[in-house]
Amino acid sequence: MDHNTSAADGPELAEPYLREVLAGAGLAVEYVRAEGNTLYQRADDGSEIAVVDFAGGYGSVLLGHHHPEIVARAQELLAEGTPVHAQFSRHPYANRLAAELNRIIHRELDTTEPYFAIFGNSGAEAVEAAVKHAELDRGMRIRALLDECAEAGRSTRAAVASGAAIVAEPVLTLFGLTAAEGDPAAALSLLEAELDRRNAEQTARPPLFLALEGGFHGKLAASVQLTHNEGYRAPFKSLAAQARFVPHNQPDALKEIHAEERGDLLELGVADGHVVVRERGFPVFCAFLVEPLQGEGGIRVLSEEFAREIQEFCAAIGCPVVIDEIQSGMGRTGTFLASSALGLRGDYYTLAKTLGGGIAKTSVMLVREAYYRKEFEIVHSSTFAKDSFSCHIALKVLELLEADGGLAYRRAAERGAALRTMLGRVQADFPMVIEEVRGRGLMLGVEFRDQSDSPSPAIQGAARGGMFGYVLAGHLLRGHRVRTFPTASALNTLRFEPSIGLTDAEIAQLEAALRDVCTLLRDGKGDVLLAV
């Protein structure tokens, strides 16, 4: 996802800057085979070097690399000549997949309201689909509101014309208007023109998104504007609608943003024989994007209390909640949706990564029936989305997750607890090195303390240069055959997102590796840590 771009035309052209960074940290290695929790490099003598994979395709291989049943299904599909591309025909497999996703989500959320599925090819694409759908819906709501305002204007005009209502001075003064006495039609026209002007100002405003500080929702044109990291976002600011970023656990900040940004459409009406102006809330907020467990922001769990406050705030202002479960979903945290454990209910959900079983590139955006606009199916599409291969693979993934009464979810919780216990043990022994261990299930993070003041100039340099997490990852790989990476927007936090096949031996290997890194940091042994 985040650091994996590569050019096709030979080594000299392949992302020279990125390659420099990876090489500097000793991370520029090639993997030639993958199985379960292991990636293999090829040594010079042709033998394989096994590396335990805690990066897990940035959360894409919860069931392990090349799960035998997923591979068998893929081979079957190819052997049978199942059409991959049959756009604009019946897609029963996609319907089955949507139905199965609904069945699981309904069970977890204890609801029966259908969620419609729009398929995509990547996580960011699912987010963009949610953003576009929310904007389509918002536009349609605005048009309906304007129609109602126009209808109210017509009946007010009729009431004034028939003498059933008058335009009194106070309503004009309210808008800084004065009209000649004795000409109610002219006074009304003046008022109407002013309301039209003010309403046009409102409707010309671009949609506004709400998102959390630290959030990551992708790097495409619209989704990157919802990603908090300024480095990713700022260069592309002019390309798409903007978000206001909300600090965690500060419900007052929500209220402040609402007070600053809210707007009204003005509508004419009649009350007690007088023309009045009514305020109709204008839906400036297009959607609120939330990760229940922030991945790239440093593995941070949303608090249940703030989740409830967000939910209530959005319900009160009529803003849909988009829950981004691209990294946290699909069972990784012990439930299918990490948000269900927080009591959070989405109007939209986005899923990707593990949905493709580590083989297919696929994603889905789910939208609640109450918000769904069937027009979206025409205005949004992708050649590759909803292909039979990805859908069949995703169905197999769901089958594996649900098998044996949800054994995979229980295993994610149990293996996650075992891994977390170990990480906690290391933290307890190195409190001056490790700031915090965070996360849930098999989505865990270890935040290292800032080392800008390390006695070792090498460690100090790495910390000040912003590459600290990559240096740690490099040492873990070279010295211990353990693969992990920092999170994309919090480079002092290493992520641990292995598959449910994680063994106690792999946990022990990681423990030894982390203890070594912590010892080197504590003792200021930068030369050893950085030796490539």
Contacting residues toward ligand PMP, per CB under 6 A: 1, 58, 122-124, 127, 216-218, 291, 295-296, 324, 326-327, 352
In the bound state, the residue with its beta carbon closest to ligand PMP is 123
Question: Helices 251-261 and 304-317 meet at what angle, rounded to 10?
Answer: 20
Nearest distance, CB of residue 430 and ligand PMP, angstroms: 28
Q: Tell the smallest beta-carbon distance from residue 223 to ligand PMP (Å).
A: 7
Amino acid, res. 28: A
Minimum CB distance to ligand PMP smaller for 74 or for 322: 322
In the complex, least distance from residue 503 CB atom to ligand PMP, rounded to whole angstroms: 26
Write phi, then psi, for 10 (nearest 5 degrees). Answer: 105, 160
- The C-alpha atoms of residue 226 and residue 377 are separated, in whole angstroms, by 24
SS3 state of residue 443: strand
Q: E-assigned strands of 254-389?
A: 263-271, 274-282, 285-290, 293-294, 300-301, 321-324, 348-351, 363-368
* Least distance (Å) between residue 473 CB and ligand PMP: 16
Tell me which long-range contacts 174-179 makes (C-beta under 8 A, separation of at least 24): 174/277, 175/277
Residue (202 or 223) nearer to ligand PMP, CB:
223
- Choose between 64 and 295: whose C-beta lies nearer to ligand PMP: 295
Least Å from the CB of residue 488 to ligand PMP: 7
Distance CA 475, CA 531 (A): 8
Minimum CB separation of residue 355 from ligand PMP in Å reads 10
Q: Which is nearer to ligand PMP, 324 or 402 (CB)?
A: 324
Residue number, 486 or 526, with CB nearest to ligand PMP:
486
Cβ atoms of residues 344 and 310 within 8 Å: yes
Q: How many helices (H) and strands (E) does the chain have?
A: 16, 19
Minimum Å gap between C-beta 201 and ligand PMP is 34
Distance between CA 103 and CA 348 in Å, rounded? 16
Q: How far is the CB of 326 from ligand PMP (least distance, A)?
A: 4
224 or 510: CB nearest ligand PMP:
224
Nearer to ligand PMP, 121 or 199 (CB): 121
The 10 Å Cβ neighbour count of residue 7 is 12
The residue among 27 and 195 lying less far from ligand PMP, judged by its C-beta, is: 27
The full DSSP string for 450-479 is P-TT-SSHHHHHHHHTT-HHHHHHHHHHHH
365: CB partners within 8 A, 6+ apart: 117, 118, 119, 120, 126, 127, 129, 130, 133, 348, 349, 350
